[in-house]
Amino acid sequence: MAEPNRLDGGRIDRASPLTFSFDGKTFAGYRGDTLASALLAANVKLVGRSFKYHRPRGILTAGSEEPNALVGLHRGARHDPNARATTVELHDGLVAVSQNRWPSLAFDVMAVNDVLSRFLTAGFYYKTFMWPKRFWEKFYEPAIRSAAGLGALSGEPDPDRYDTGFLHCDLLVVGGGPAGLAAAMTAARSGARVILADEDFVLGGRLNAETVTLDGEPAAVWLRRALDELHAAHNVRLMPRTSVFGAYDHGVYGALERVADHLAVAPAHLPRQVLWRIRSRRAVLCAGATERPIAFANNDRPGIMLAGAMRAYANRWAVAADRTVAVFTNNDDGHRTASDLLARGVSVAAVIDARPDAHAQGNYELHRGAIVENTRGRKALTSVDVRRADGSRVTVPCGALGVSGGWNPAVALTCHQRGRPSWDASLAAFVPGADLPPGMAVAGAANGSFSTHAALQSGADAASHALAELGFEAPAAALPLAEDAPVRIQAFWHVASGKGRTWLDFQNDVTVKDVGLAVQEGFRSVEHVKRYTTLGMATDQGKLANTGAIAALADLTGRGMGETGTTMFRPPWTPVPIAAFAGRSRGKDFRPARLTPSHDWAAEQGAVFVEAGLWLRAQYFPRPGETHWRQTVDREVRAVRQAVGVCDVTTLGKVDVQGSDAAAFLNMIYCNGFSKLPVSRVRYGLMLREDGMVMDDGTAARLADDHFVVTTTTANAALVYRHMEFVRQCLRSDLDVQLVSTTEAWAQYAVAGPHARALLAGIVDPPFDLGDDAFPYMACAELTVCGGVTARLFRISFSGERAYEIAVPACYGDSLIRVLMQAGAPHGVTPYGTEALGVLRIEKGHPAGNELNGQTSPAHLSMARLVSTKKDSIGAVLSRREGLSEADGLRLVGLEAMDGETALPAGSHLFAPGRPHDPGHDEGWITSAAYSPHLGRSIALAFLARGDSRLGETIEIANPLQGQTLRATVVHPVFIDPEGTRLHG
C-alpha cells in the first residue's frame, strides 16, 4: 500500500483515500487519481505486454492517446477489456488486471516472440501463412489470434444499461482547456446555448498539469473562478467525461459521456454511458495537442514516458515517475518537465537535447546536441546511453526518462469530412487545413497556438467570431495575463545510430525498420504503408505514432512531410463501445413490437407468437396433450373446414380512400377494374409496380360512391400506403382523393367455416340480415354489433370456406374476441393462428408473400387476364412485355407429394424426372408448402415452367441442402373446392 513516488501537493483529494487492486495485489490511491497515476505512485512500472512481441511495457502518456497501459477492468460479465489506465478514474474497490500475458505479467511465455522478432517483421503473415490456403482459416488465424492481441470480452451479456440522446446548441466547444474555457466564457456571456465537452473528468486541460500562472496567480485560482462562472450560467452545459468522437454532417457531433464508470456503486437505472448526438450551429475545436515520442533503440522500456505526461503526473497527481529522472527532448517543452520536477524535489539526472543551441532552464546537467542511443533495464528502466555532441558516450542512470519530440495538434475532428491537415515547418507539426467541416473553427493548441496566452485569446476570438455569424453579440471574455512562450523546436524524429529496435507504434509493435521494409517492398503511399505495417491501427489510432512514421517514410522516399501527408482520420477519436451505439435498443427492446388489441387474450390462451414484421401474431394455439405444433395446426385447420374458426387479422393494412375520384384512383393503382364495383361490394385487387411485377394484393370494399376501404397484406401495409400517397401526390394530383391509414384504428377478425354465419348471427344487431341473398359472397356493410358498437362486416374468404371479416374500433378488439369465443362455443368455434391460416390458403391456392416476392408477374400467377385492357393502370403495359408474359413461362401450380406425408420443402427446385439437377435444366421452384389435413398429404404451391399445361405430370424435387430428391404430381393450384361451393355456402 506504500506510495514511494507520491509527492506533496497536486490536485488530488487526499481526504478521500481509495483502495484498488491490480493483478490481485492491493494498492492505495486518492479520489482524483487515475489508475495510471496511482500505479506510478506505487512505483509499478510494468503494466502490460505489447501486442505482437509481448515486450514489457509501461505507462507512456497521461491521456486518451495511451497505447501501452491497456488493462482489463472489473470481474465477470462487467469485465471491460482494453481500458486505458491513463483515463480510468480511480474508485474504491476498482479491480484491474493486465492483458496479453501468460502465465503472468512478469513472466510471459509468449515473450519468445521477441526473440524471434527478426522473422516477424511487417508483412510476415502475408508472406508466411499463404499456403496451404485452407490452413489460414482453421489453423493459422486462430493460432495467431491467440498469440497476439489485447484484452478479451467476458463472453457474457453486458449487464449494464446504456442510453442515447440528442442535444442542441448554438456553440459546441470541444475541449475544456484554456482555449475551450475562454471560448465557453465568451459564448456564455452572449446568451447563446453552449455545450462544453471534455473527455477528462476535470475541466481545465493542461492548466491542471502545468505550473503556469494566470494574472500572477496559480492557474488553479483562475480555473476555479472560470468554472464557477460557467456552472452558474444557465445557458451553458458543462460535460466532463465526454469524448466528442466524430464530426458529422450539418454540425452534428457524436459524443460519448461516461456517466457511471467512475462510481463504485451506481444507482439503479443509471446508464453507464450515453451516446449523444449533438446538433450544433457552430463548433470550436479546442482539443489541444498530443505530445509525440522520439524513436530510439529500446525506447519502449517501462519507465520511458512522454515528458509532458511526466510533468502532468508530478503537477496534477503529485506523482514522480521515479525519484531520479532524465529528459530527452528536441524542444523547450522538455525543459519545462526538468524544471518542474526539480522544483518538486525529484532528482533530474540529465536533460539530453538534440539541439546544439539548447539552453538550460534550471539547475540540471544539459547535454546539448546529444541523443539517446539505447536504454537499459529488464522490466524497468535503469539507465540510458547518451551520445554527446562531440561523439563521446555517457551512461545516465535514471528510473524514468521523459521524451518530447514536440506536440501534434489534435486535428482528427477537422478531418472527419475529408479535410487534410497541412504541414507547418516552424512548429514541426501538422495543423488543421483550410477544409474544415462546415461551422467548425479551431483554437488553441489544436490550431498550433501553443502558449497559454495564445490558447486563451484564440479560444475567445473563435467563439466571438462564430457567434457573431449567428447574430449574437459576443465580445471576447476578459482574459487573464498568461505566458506567451514561442515554440522553439528542431524537428528530430528518430535516432539512426544505436543497436536495437526503434519503436514508432507502441500499440502495434511497428519499428522504423518496418517502415523501411515497406518502402523496400515498393509501398510509397502513407495509406499503403499503414496497412502493410499495421502502423496507426487499433485503439489509439496512431495518435503517437503517425508523425514519426510519416517522417521515416518522408526520409526514405526523399519527400517532404507535407508531400508525404497523413493517413485519413476517421471517427471515432476514442473507442466507443458498441453497446453505447445500441443504447436502449437491445434484447427484447432491440426494436419496438406491435401488438394487436387482443394480444393479451391470445397470450392467455397460451398462443405461440411469431414475428411478422414488427407485429407479434398468434402462430397457433396449442392445447393440453398436443406435443407437436402440427397436431395443433391440423386441429385448427379441420375446425375451420368443419365448424368455425376465428383468426386475428388486425395486422392487415387498411387505407381509407375517399373523394369524388376515389374509384378512378383505385383504377389507377389496381390493374383490375374498380369503377363498376357496386356500393356494398368487395373486390379482389391486384396491384402492380411500374415494371409490371406484382406489388401486393388485397381487397377494396366500396362503402359509398366516394368511399372505399383498401386492405393490404400485413407485410406490405406501409409500402402500399406510401405508394398510394406517391400516386396521389405526384402522379395524379388532379384527382380528388384523400387517403388516411386506419390500420391502427380497427381490430379485425376473420370468422371462417360452415358455421361462421351462425356464430355472427349471435352478435350482429337486428335488423341486419346475414342471409345469403341479402349478404352474399363479396358483400360488405357498416352495421352495429353487440348492442350498438359500430362495426364493418366483409364477406371475404382466404380459407375457401364461408367466411367473414368483422372489424370494430380497436378498443373493442379484446372484448370482441372474447364474445366471439363465447357466442361461438355452441358452434364449435376454434381460434386459429397464422400457421393454420397459411395451410388454409395453400389448400385454396391463394398467393401470399412467398409467391409475391417481387419477381412475379400476373402471368406467372395465371392472372394475366385480370390486367384490364380497357383502362390504364400502373404496371399494366410493362406486365405484357416479353419475358413476363410468354406462354411457356412460369405458372403457379399445385404439387401433391407422391408418398403422402413427406414434406415438400419450400425453396426446392423442380426438374423433369431423370434430367440432371443443374441450372440448365431447372424448371421452377416451390414457394409454399404445407401438410394438408384435408387431403391427408403434403402439398405445395410452385412456379413451374409451362405449369398450366402439365397437370398430372410427375416432377422431381431437388433439395440439395438436405440431399433429398422427392417426387410429386403437378395439380391445379386450387386443391380444395375449385367450384367454390363451400365459399358461397
Contact positions toward another protein, by CB under 8 A? Answer: 161, 163-168, 193, 259, 263, 266-271, 274, 277, 279, 584-585, 589, 591-597, 600, 614-615, 656, 658-660, 707, 735-736, 738-740, 742-745, 762-763, 785-787, 789, 808-816, 819, 822-823
- Gap between the terminal Cα atoms of the chain: 90
Cis check for the bond before 132: say yes or no (omega within 30 of 0): yes
3-state secondary structure of 123: coil
Find the shortest distance in angstroms from Cβ 762 to another protein. 6
Q: Are 94 and 20 in contact (CB under 8 A)?
A: yes
Find the shortest distance in angstroms from Cβ 718 to another protein. 10
Find the shortest distance in angstroms from Cβ 35 to another protein. 22
Find the shortest distance in angstroms from Cβ 591 to another protein. 6
Task: State how far the Cα of 275 lies from the Cα of 115, in Å rounded to an integer.
Answer: 43
Closer residue to another protein (CB): 107 or 590: 590
Instruction: Quickly tell me which residue has 396433450 as its cell.
Output: 625
Find the shortest distance in angstroms from Cβ 787 to another protein. 6
Q: Are 266 and 260 in contact (CB under 8 A)?
A: yes
For residue 457, the surrounding DSSP H or E stretch is helix 452-469
Give the length of the chain: 985
Closest listed residue to residue 174, CA positions, set 408, 462, 577: 462
Closer residue to another protein (CB): 545 or 763: 763
Find the shortest distance in angstroms from Cβ 247 to another protein. 18
Phi, psi of 639 (to 5 degrees): -60, -40
Closer residue to another protein (CB): 259 or 307: 259
Find the shortest distance in angstroms from Cβ 593 to another protein. 6
Closer residue to another protein (CB): 45 or 193: 193
For residue 124, the surrounding DSSP H or E stretch is helix 124-128
Closer residue to another protein (CB): 786 or 945: 786
Residue 129 is which amino acid? Answer: F
Q: Which three cell numbers stand for residue 451?
A: 502558449
Find the shortest distance in angstroms from Cβ 824 to another protein. 11
> Max Cα separation, the chain?
116
Could you give the C-alpha distances from 609 to 75, 594, 929, in angstroms and in order? 37, 12, 20
Closer residue to another protein (CB): 35 or 662: 662
Find the shortest distance in angstroms from Cβ 746 to another protein. 8
Find the shortest distance in angstroms from Cβ 192 to another protein. 13
Find the shortest distance in angstroms from Cβ 736 to another protein. 4
Find the shortest distance in angstroms from Cβ 589 to another protein. 7
Find the shortest distance in angstroms from Cβ 288 to another protein. 24
Count of alpha carbons within 13 Å of 820, Cβ hemisphere only? 31
Q: Which three cell numbers stand for residue 977?
A: 373446392
Task: Give one DSSP letter per residue of 835-903, joined into a string.
Answer: HHHHHHHHHHT---TTT-SSS--TTTTT-GGGS-SSS--TTHHHHTSTTTS-TTSEEEEEEEETTSSS-
Closer residue to another protein (CB): 73 or 759: 759
Buried b (16+ CB within 10 A) or exposed e, 649-688: bbbbbbbbbbbebbbbbbbbbbbbbbeebeeebbbebbbb
Find the shortest distance in angstroms from Cβ 596 to another protein. 7
924: left (phi over 0), alpha (psi -120 to 50) or beta: left
Q: Which three cell numbers stand for residue 259?
A: 456517466
Find the shortest distance in angstroms from Cβ 932 to another protein. 32
Task: State how far the Cα of 445 lies from the Cα of 63, in Å rounded to an integer.
Answer: 15
Do strands 746-752 and 644-648 pair parallel, antiparallel, or not at all (unpaired)?
Answer: antiparallel
Closer residue to another protein (CB): 599 or 841: 599
Closer residue to another protein (CB): 823 or 935: 823
Do strands 273-285 and 440-442 pair parallel, antiparallel, or not at all (unpaired)?
Answer: parallel
Find the shortest distance in angstroms from Cβ 810 to another protein. 4
Closest listed residue to residue 553, CA positions, set 539, 537, 536: 536
Closer residue to another protein (CB): 271 or 875: 271
Closer residue to another protein (CB): 67 or 597: 597
Closer residue to another protein (CB): 82 or 667: 667
Q: Are 717 and 653 in contact (CB under 8 A)?
A: yes
Closer residue to another protein (CB): 556 or 819: 819
Q: Are 439 and 279 in contact (CB under 8 A)?
A: no
Closer residue to another protein (CB): 443 or 602: 602
Closer residue to another protein (CB): 127 or 168: 168
Find the shortest distance in angstroms from Cβ 744 to another protein. 4
Closer residue to another protein (CB): 77 or 270: 270
Could you give the C-alpha distances from 876 to 665, 668, 695, 732, 865, in angstroms and in order? 15, 10, 12, 16, 11
Task: State how far the Cα of 78 lies from the Cα of 97, in Å rounded to an integer.
Answer: 13
Q: Which three cell numbers stand for residue 98?
A: 493486465
Could you give the C-alpha distances from 111 to 17, 116, 335, in angstroms and in order? 36, 9, 35
Q: Are 193 and 172 in contact (CB under 8 A)?
A: no
3-state secondary structure of 952: coil
Closer residue to another protein (CB): 596 or 856: 596
Task: State how far the Cα of 193 lies from the Cα of 944, in Å rounded to an integer.
Answer: 66
Task: Specify the long-range contacts of residues 606-615, CB closer than 8 Å, at least 24 apart.
Answer: 607/831, 607/833, 608/833, 610/833, 610/834, 610/835, 612/651, 612/714, 612/715, 612/834, 613/714, 613/715, 615/651, 615/714
Closer residue to another protein (CB): 592 or 883: 592
Find the shortest distance in angstroms from Cβ 698 to another protein. 18
